[in-house]
């Protein structure tokens, strides 16, 4: 009989599926969904069914390795002792030579969502002031939009969609990214709710909607303004909400009056009559909810556009009511302070060096290419749970940046594009090999990863790696790290979870193994209409403009970007079989779909004599990438569409995406987000 353990998928995904793991003789024999998971009902995704294979994948790196010459693929297996001693020596040398640790850089993200992951940053805090890559390539501009409008980024519980009479899915494709939430969408639809999708691409989600609007990419703010103008003109407003709970309405109203609906419509590509219809639908259904994806905010004015979309629930009083509001992300869980971030190196604050440092040096995400141009330049880069060579824009520059950094440490499962530039590869554990906790940012479900098997090979968790590194550092230079190396993972988890125990209704995290537990946050946000903005009211986007010191900017799509040389706008979409660059090496998933496929409108296919299956090259000023053509009327003629994480000949899609900030992200994260969907390309057919 197998022993059954409780686990949770730790990928950066809203579902955070609880798993039941079967183990026999120390080997995983089956991984399946936990039927008691109230969000997933025990149903996983295609990727989830390959988790077991990934643990035993022949491609997984299971010993510490040292590369003799960056990018040479000449690797030597070394012992942990050697790896950690050599790395520690470099860190100590940097401190001795430089007097501080700014030349040490941490680039960490959510390759795994385990709570113990935070220990890596905690460790670096414990050795001194370093350079940190901060910000998020993901949702940050949209999150800021909510923060500025409401004062905080909150969302309703997933099942609150069942209370909606209208669900507008805008700039997202949950048929790929949120399978389980689609269960609620279909159930709401069966109960009579209307499903509307706004997207430049006729996605799998759009195909299941009652009403689909194909919008010009990046003109979401124009459409929102158009809807708002019609709501105003046709008096479909909740005047009581506007008068009592908002700030800036009179000014915003006069702005709306000045706008020309025809002008807005022509930018969006959606006729005035259809915008009017959408406005009447939104104004005529209450409660109505908006489900915003990440896609719409990855444009130059994406943050402002999301602020303008968030005007709509305010105009109609769809805030703070069941079935209303906006489903985006919740930052509530992230607001709980971490015990790891409290760690700091006291001596850093009393530095005798003339270059006295008061804080960490912070660099925006995507900034790897500039690490060597900083003063002092980066000498050691530690990458954990990230793959910047694939996921950061302008990948060639990122790789060039890697070549120039003297020492790179990558902690990962597989030989990623980034790891190919590592000097030290430190093999990490899967969720089945070390204890941890995962909290969903979508449904707040909180689950424990029990250690089901011993780590394969010599793999160690990120936590265990930095804990041992701290010990090595202190052995070589007593007191170098203030990381409490004697503290076990279990004790850390208990400490880290203390603040959440009351909201989970438990006394110890091990109780999470007993069944589905969810952090008890309000299922409907803003019911008290007490907003967390400076004014305590919902704030119209005018305030944003004042804060930023710029005049009201209500022509959001008039940002230059189109190109005569590169006539096609490259938009990336999610694959069901990739999670960013993760899962890309699963043979089973690869057999389901060629990820390096490019969607082209048939009209363009005719012009360029390209048919489905043809080899084509996509190129622009940054580089060239090979794809397989797939002709589909689901994409507009001026747009070509590829998968996030697509790889071709060792290079990723982001080779063709310039590094360009969008307009928000810095309010919460300190740096702005990315305009992933502002890349222009041309293409040609490859003749054999």
Q: Return the C-alpha torsion angle 653, 367, 403, 594, nearest 10.
A: -10
Nearest to 676 by CA among 302, 172, 363, 135: 302
Sketch the per residue contact string, 162 through 201, with another protein: x for CB under 8 A, - otherwise. Answer: -------------xx--xx-xx--x--------x----x-
Nearest approach, Cβ of 541 to another protein (angstroms)?
25
Closer residue to another protein, CB minimum distance, 208 or 280: 208
Nearest approach, Cβ of 209 to another protein (angstroms)?
5
Whether the upstream peptide bond of residue 376 has omega within 30° of 0, thus cis, is yes
Torsion 533-536-542-547 (CA) sign: negative
Q: Is 21 in the site for another protein (CB under 8 A)?
A: no
The CB density around residue 260, as the number of other CB atoms within 10 Å, is: 11
Closer residue to another protein, CB minimum distance, 200 or 393: 200
Closer residue to another protein, CB minimum distance, 212 or 676: 212
Measured CA to CA, the distance from residue 392 to residue 640 in angstroms comes to 20
Nearest approach, Cβ of 208 to another protein (angstroms)?
6
Nearest approach, Cβ of 591 to another protein (angstroms)?
4
Q: What are phi and psi of 627, to 5 degrees?
A: -140, 170
Measured CA to CA, the distance from residue 448 to residue 438 in angstroms comes to 6
Number of alpha carbons in the 13 Å side-chain half-sphere of residue 284: 10
Q: Which of 36, 89, 208, 529 binds another protein (CB under 8 A)?
A: 208
Q: Which of 93, 191, 207, 487 binds another protein (CB under 8 A)?
A: 207
DSSP state string for 283-305: HHSSSEEEEE-SGGGSSTTHHHH
Measured CA to CA, the distance from residue 371 to residue 362 in angstroms comes to 11
Helix (H, G, I), strand (E, B) or coil at 626: strand
Closer residue to another protein, CB minimum distance, 334 or 637: 637
Q: Is 9 in the site for another protein (CB under 8 A)?
A: no
Looking at residue 514, the DSSP 8-state letter turns out to be G
Q: Is 577 in the site for another protein (CB under 8 A)?
A: yes
Q: Which stretch binds another protein (CB under 8 A): 249-257, 264-272, 296-304, 359-367?
A: 264-272
Number of alpha carbons in the 13 Å side-chain half-sphere of residue 649: 9
Closer residue to another protein, CB minimum distance, 222 or 496: 222
Q: Which of 240, 254, 591, 609 binds another protein (CB under 8 A)?
A: 591
Q: Is 592 in the site for another protein (CB under 8 A)?
A: yes
Q: What are phi and psi of 250, to 5 degrees?
A: -60, -40
Sketch the per residue contact string, 24 through 43, with another protein: x for CB under 8 A, - otherwise. Answer: ---------x------x-xx
Q: Which of 62, 211, 503, 559 binds another protein (CB under 8 A)?
A: 211
Q: Give the strand pairing for 568-573 and 679-685.
A: antiparallel
Entry field: residues in the chain = 688
Closer residue to another protein, CB minimum distance, 268 or 365: 268
280 burial class (0-12, 13-18, 19+ CB within 10 angstroms)?
middle
Nearest approach, Cβ of 158 to another protein (angstroms)?
13
Closer residue to another protein, CB minimum distance, 532 or 592: 592
Total interface residues for another protein by CB under 8 A: 55
Q: Give the strand pairing for 424-427 and 407-412.
A: parallel
What's the chain's Rg over C-alpha atoms?
A: 25
Q: Is 595 in the site for another protein (CB under 8 A)?
A: no
Sketch the per residue contact string, 50 through 69, with another protein: x for CB under 8 A, - otherwise. Answer: x-xx----------------
Closer residue to another protein, CB minimum distance, 327 or 537: 327
Closer residue to another protein, CB minimum distance, 293 or 317: 293
Closer residue to another protein, CB minimum distance, 277 or 494: 277
Nearest approach, Cβ of 197 to another protein (angstroms)?
9
Give me 273's structure tokens: 């009559």
Sketch the per residue contact string, 444 through 483, with another protein: x for CB under 8 A, - otherwise. Answer: ----------------------------------------
Nearest to 584 by CA among 642, 652, 679, 641: 652
Q: Which of 490, 530, 532, 587 binds another protein (CB under 8 A)?
A: 587
Q: Is 271 in the site for another protein (CB under 8 A)?
A: yes
352 burial class (0-12, 13-18, 19+ CB within 10 angstroms)?
exposed
The CB density around residue 577, as the number of other CB atoms within 10 Å, is: 22
Closer residue to another protein, CB minimum distance, 163 or 575: 575
Measured CA to CA, the distance from residue 681 to residue 391 in angstroms comes to 18
Residue keyed to tokens 């009403």: 211
Measured CA to CA, the distance from residue 417 to residue 494 in angstroms comes to 35
Q: Is 636 in the site for another protein (CB under 8 A)?
A: yes
Q: Is 270 in the site for another protein (CB under 8 A)?
A: yes
Closer residue to another protein, CB minimum distance, 289 or 655: 289
Measured CA to CA, the distance from residue 97 to residue 393 in angstroms comes to 33
Q: Which stretch binds another protein (CB under 8 A): 88-96, 252-260, 425-433, 581-589?
A: 581-589
Residue keyed to tokens 């209208």: 166
Q: Which of 12, 46, 261, 559 binds another protein (CB under 8 A)?
A: 46
Nearest approach, Cβ of 633 to another protein (angstroms)?
4
The CB density around residue 204, as the number of other CB atoms within 10 Å, is: 15
Nearest approach, Cβ of 172 to another protein (angstroms)?
13
Q: Which neighbouring-strand residues pair with 207?
A: none
Torsion 370-376-380-385 (CA) sign: negative
Closer residue to another protein, CB minimum distance, 305 or 420: 305
Q: Which stretch binds another protein (CB under 8 A): 100-108, 314-322, 478-486, 631-639?
A: 631-639
Nearest approach, Cβ of 430 to another protein (angstroms)?
16
Q: Is 611 in the site for another protein (CB under 8 A)?
A: no
Measured CA to CA, the distance from residue 610 to residue 615 in angstroms comes to 9
Q: Is 613 in the site for another protein (CB under 8 A)?
A: no
Q: Which stretch binds another protein (CB under 8 A): 48-56, 79-87, 239-247, 368-376?
A: 48-56
Closer residue to another protein, CB minimum distance, 208 or 362: 208
Q: Give the strand pairing for 407-412 and 380-384.
A: parallel
DSSP state string for 267-280: HHTS-HHHHHHHHH
Nearest approach, Cβ of 49 to another protein (angstroms)?
5
Chain residues in the site for another protein (CB under 8 A):
33, 40, 42-46, 48-50, 52-53, 175-176, 179-180, 182-183, 186, 195, 200, 202, 204-216, 266, 269-271, 274, 576-577, 586-593, 602, 632-634, 636
């Amino acid at each position: 009989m197998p022993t059954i353990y409780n686990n949770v998928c730790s990928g950066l995904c809203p579902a955070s599926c609880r798993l039941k793991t079967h183990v026999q003789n120390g080997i995983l024999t089956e991984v399946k969904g936990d039927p008691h998971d109230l969000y997933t009902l025990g149903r996983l995704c295609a990727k989830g069914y390959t988790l077991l294979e990934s643990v035993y994948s022949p491609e997984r790196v299971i010993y510490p390795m040292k590369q003799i010459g960056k990018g040479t693929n000449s690797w030597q297996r070394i012992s942990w002792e050697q790896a950690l001693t050599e790395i520690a020596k470099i860190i100590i040398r940097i401190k001795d030579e430089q007097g501080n640790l700014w030349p040490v850089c941490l680039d960490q993200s959510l390759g795994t969502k385990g709570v113990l992951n935070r220990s890596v940053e905690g460790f670096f805090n414990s050795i001194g002031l370093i350079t940190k890559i901060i910000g998020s390539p993901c949702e940050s501009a949209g999150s800021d939009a909510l923060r500025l409008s409401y004062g905080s980024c909150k969302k309703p519980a997933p099942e609150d969609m069942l209370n909606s009479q209208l669900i507008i899915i805008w700039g997202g494709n949950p048929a790929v990214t949120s399978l389980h939430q689609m269960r609620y969408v279909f159930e709401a639809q069966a109960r009579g709710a209307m499903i509307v999708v706004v997207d430049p691409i006729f996605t799998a989600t759009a195909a299941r909607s009652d009403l689909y609007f194909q919008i010009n990419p990046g003109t979401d703010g124009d459409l929102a303004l158009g809807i708002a103008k019609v709501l105003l003109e046709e008096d479909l407003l909740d005047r009581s909400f506007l008068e009592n709970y908002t700030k800036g309405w009179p000014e915003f109203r006069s702005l709306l009056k000045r706008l020309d609906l025809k002008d807005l419509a022509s930018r969006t590509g959606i006729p005035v009559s259809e915008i009017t219809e959408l406005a009447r639908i939104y104004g005529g259904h209450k409660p109505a909810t908006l489900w915003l994806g990440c896609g719409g905010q990855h444009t130059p004015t994406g943050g402002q556009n999301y602020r303008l979309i968030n005007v709509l629930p305010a105009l109609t009083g769809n805030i703070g009511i069941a079935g209303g509001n906006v489903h985006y992300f919740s930052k509530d869980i992230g607001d709980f302070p971490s015990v790891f971030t409290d760690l700091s190196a006291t001596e850093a604050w009393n530095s005798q060096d003339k270059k006295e440092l008061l804080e960490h040096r912070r660099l925006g995400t995507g900034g790897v290419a500039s690490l060597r141009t900083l003063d002092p330049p980066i000498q050691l880069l530690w990458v954990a749970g990230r793959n910047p060579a694939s996921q950061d824009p302008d990948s060639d520059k990122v790789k060039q940046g890697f070549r120039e950094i003297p020492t790179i440490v990558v902690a990962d499962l597989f030989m990623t594009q980034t790891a190919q530039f590592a000097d030290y590869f430190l093999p990490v554990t899967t969720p089945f090999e070390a204890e941890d906790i995962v909290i969903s940012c979508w449904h707040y479900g909180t689950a424990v990863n029990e250690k089901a098997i011993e780590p394969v090979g010599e793999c160690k968790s990120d936590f265990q790696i930095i804990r041992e590194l701290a010990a090595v550092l202190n052995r070589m230079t007593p007191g170098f790290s203030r990381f409490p190396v004697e503290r076990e993972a279990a004790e850390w988890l208990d400490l880290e979870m203390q603040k959440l125990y009351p909201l989970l209704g438990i006394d110890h995290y091990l109780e999470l193994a007993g069944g589905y537990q969810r952090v008890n946050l309000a299922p409907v946000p803003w019911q008290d209409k007490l907003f967390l903005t400076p004014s305590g009211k919902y704030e119209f986007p005018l305030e944003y403009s004042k804060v930023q010191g710029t005049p009201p900017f209500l022509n959001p799509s008039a940002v230059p970007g189109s190109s005569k040389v590169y006539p096609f706008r490259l938009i990336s979409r999610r694959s069901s079989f990739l999670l960013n660059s993760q899962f890309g090496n699963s043979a089973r998933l690869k057999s389901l779909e060629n990820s390096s496929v490019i969607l082209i409108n048939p009209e363009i296919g005719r012009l360029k004599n390209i048919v489905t299956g043809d080899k084509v090259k996509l190129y622009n000023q940054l580089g060239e990438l090979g794809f397989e053509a797939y002709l589909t009327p689901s994409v507009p003629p001026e747009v070509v569409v590829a998968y996030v994480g697509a790889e071709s000949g060792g290079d990723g899609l982001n080779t063709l995406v310039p590094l360009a900030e969008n307009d928000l992200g810095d309010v919460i994260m300190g740096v702005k987000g990315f305009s992933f969907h502002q890349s222009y390309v041309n293409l040609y057919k490859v003749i054999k």
